[in-house]
Structure 1
Amino acid sequence: MGTQGDRSAVSRRMVLAGVGGAGAAAVLGAGGAAAQPARGTEGGVDKLPIPDKAELTLLLTGDAGTGEDGQWKVADAARAVCARRGVDLAIGLGDNIYENGPESATDDEFQSKFERPNTGIDVPWLMVLGNHDTSGIIPGSGGWPSRGDHEVAYHAHSARWYMPGRYYSVAVPGGAAEPVAEFFALDTTPLSSYVLQTDPRYYWDGPFAREQRAWLTESLAASRARWKFVFAHHPLRNNGTHRNAGEYEGVTCGDYLSGKHVKELYEQVVVGNAEFILSGHDHTLQILDTGADHRGTQQIVCGAAAKTKGRADKPSNKAFWEAYDTLGFMLLTINAQQVVVDAYTVDPGTGEHTHAYRHTRTDRLPAPAGAVS
């Protein structure tokens, strides 16, 4: 199922009336069907199962965890779309618990900023850490990485929340000789915090960074999945105001704020070895080009699940489609032949959602030597 490294719509009124928690509604499978494989128990919690199928629909959201009106509007819209189309899996791209991350594995913010807003979307949510999940005195600084351990520990407390480690992989279907997809989760915040790291374990060149890089290198090389997705909070390419890795916030020097080591990790390990990088961080929606200059690795930014943000003054990346100053989410339909990305915008005022764009990718990277074809 996964490998671990370091360690119709339900309304808000119904949720607030007490229909909360995972399992309150029927699990939404393909076509809205409730039938699913048997659940697994972990840490005393009945976990929702990773899908065991060769075609799946995946909900993609990022930067969601405010608990405020914007998050609810997007969650309501996503729930309606998922009820209509079916959904098998979800990915949360970090900044799960604003503003500083949880204070414990049982912090009530997990309920107010994840469980209750997402009631009814009862599938496994593959989660990664963002800078707001690992902060101390300065909100969003990313300067307290060990705080992310609370979100890893929450994996044992929630049916939906899936974060068995700070980095991990999940193949679908699990155990297949050639899975249709494999998802590789990363923690990029120690490489791109807004402040210098003080814990030696999380220095940009410390033990954690070295272990994660070695794991990712080995795991990508070993994967026989038809489509490989690397997902993390921070993007490699980005036309939003945070800009590209290596020049985050317009800064090009230093080991942290610029994100130059995120750039190195992506360009040296991921580019040319995975078809997609999925990221949040910028509160925008972007489907960038298929990466001719990046050996076929395509960047998708989906960080508008609660907040909005504008476009960079001088964007540098070719895009199939972009949306700024609007909320939204995406649905990915994945099978052996193609990956279809459907982008939905959500009006920040009314909460009305619109199917805004569809992108289809059929070209995949060359299979590694020895792969089953």
Structure 2
Amino acid sequence: MKLTRGTFLAGVLGEFTGALDHTALFDLWSNWSLAQGPIVVGEPPAIELPLQDKSLRFAVIGDNGTGARPQYEVGSLMAKTRAKFPFEFVLMMGDNIYGRKSKSAFKRKFEDPYKTLLEDGVKFYASLGNHDDPNEIYYQPFHMGGKRYYNWKSGNAEFFALDSTYMNPAQLTWIEEKLRESSAAWKFCFFHHALYSDGRFHGPDLDLRARLEPIFVKYGVAVVFNGHEHFYERLQPQKEIHYFVVGNSGQLRRGNIRPGPNLAKGFDTDQAFLIAEVVGKEFYFQTISRSGNTVDSGMIPLHR
């Protein structure tokens, strides 16, 4: 069926009359957005990271799996950015696949938007969000190895992916053990729900913070990446831990940041992604909007 504005509006009406379920409506909207013409993006901004030899480089996206035009535009800009800043892998903050979870949906909502990156051998490491199917842990391109939570080392850093939707005692025991055993200089944790957030719609997950933050502090976690809020936010350091929210790589909730005392930088007017570089005892980051502007950048020294 050819998707036109009229078809899309008919789907909306169908939702209100019960003729369409929520996932069908979501997919109808994303298909309609793609039908509006070719994906064209501008050039990335000047890279503000050091690009040191043998440094560790990666990117971060979150709440990206819409299959709609903004996701494709971000994916295209990421590929252009990688030509200037060759990152090795991408961390995913969850809500990797919205709507239906068919084989064709994985292609349209992941494989196609990041086709160039995947063909170039860039690995994606996913965490699960509240809109994800737990069976995504078996989808090989997400490199989860059949596990809801997992870890791996790269250079002088170690990464720990958690499932914040189902934070049970077994997972808490696992993360404490793995952090205790880690000898990495840099410890990065990433998962969906934000421990700190200035979002009007969700806000911080205080229960999750009470369970995870003491473990992070005890074992020297340096940086935590989250999603769930559909914007970008960098928080003031909390107990020497640096928190980033990157939940607008596909979704966007405009005007949703309610500035509070913990806000260091916020961006809620466009989609975005983050690139990062670890150089010895320094962590550099740069956040880039879908329109190709730098919205945040800086350097974090290792304190531990």
Which residue pairs with 2:162 in the alignment? 186
Which residue pairs with 1:245 in the alignment? 205
Q: What's the CA shift string for 1:62-119, capped at 9, x where partnerless?
A: 000011111011111111111221111111110001036x25xxx2211111111101
Q: What is the one-letter code of the residue matched to 1:265?
A: R
Which residue pairs with 2:195 in the alignment? 236
Q: Does 1:320 align with 2:264?
A: yes
The CA distance in 2 between the partners of 1:312 and 1:120, in whole Å, is 32
Percent identity, aligned pairs only, is: 26
Q: What is the one-letter code of the residue matched to 2:205?
A: A
Alignment of 1:28-177 (within 5 A): 55-99=55-99, 102=101, 107-122=103-118, 123-133=122-132, 147-148=133-134, 150-155=135-140, 158=141, 161-164=142-145, 165-173=147-155
Which residue pairs with 1:222 in the alignment? 181
The CA distance in 2 between the partners of 1:234 and 1:318, in whole Å, is 17
TM-score by length of 2: 0.77
Which residue pairs with 1:203 in the alignment? none
Instruction: Give the 4+ runs in structure 1 shifted more than 3 A.
Output: 310-317
Q: CA RMSD in A?
A: 2.6
- CA gap of 1:313–1:345, structure 2 versus 1, over 3 A, is closer
2:293 to 354, 360, 364: 354
Shift, 1:229, TM fit? 0.5
Q: Does 1:278 align with 2:225?
A: yes
The CA distance in 2 between the partners of 1:341 and 1:306, in whole Å, is 20
Q: What's the CA shift string for 1:148-170, capped at 9, x where partnerless?
A: 1x211112xx3xx2111100001
TM-score by length of 1: 0.63
- CA gap of 1:313–1:93, structure 2 versus 1, over 3 A, is closer
CA contact (8 A) 1:167 1:212 kept: yes
Secondary structure, in 3 states, of the residue corresponding to 2:115? coil
CA contact (8 A) 1:58 1:331 kept: yes
The range that moved more, 161-170 or 316-325, is 316-325
CA contact (8 A) 2:190 2:224 kept: yes
Q: What's the CA shift string for 1:310-330, capped at 9, x where partnerless?
A: 455754342332111211000
Shift, 1:274, TM fit? 0.4
Alignment of 1:299-318 (within 5 A): 299-310=243-254, 314-318=258-262
Q: Which runs of 5+ in 2 are unaligned?
A: 1-33, 39-49
Shift, 1:361, TM fit? 0.5
Shift, 1:54, TM fit? 5.3
CA contact (8 A) 1:290 1:297 kept: yes
Which residue pairs with 2:13 in the alignment? none
Relative to its length, the structure with more helix (as a share) is 2
Q: What is the one-letter code of the residue matched to 1:342?
A: Q
Q: What is the one-letter code of the residue matched to 1:109?
A: A
Secondary structure, in 3 states, of the residue corresponding to 1:131? coil
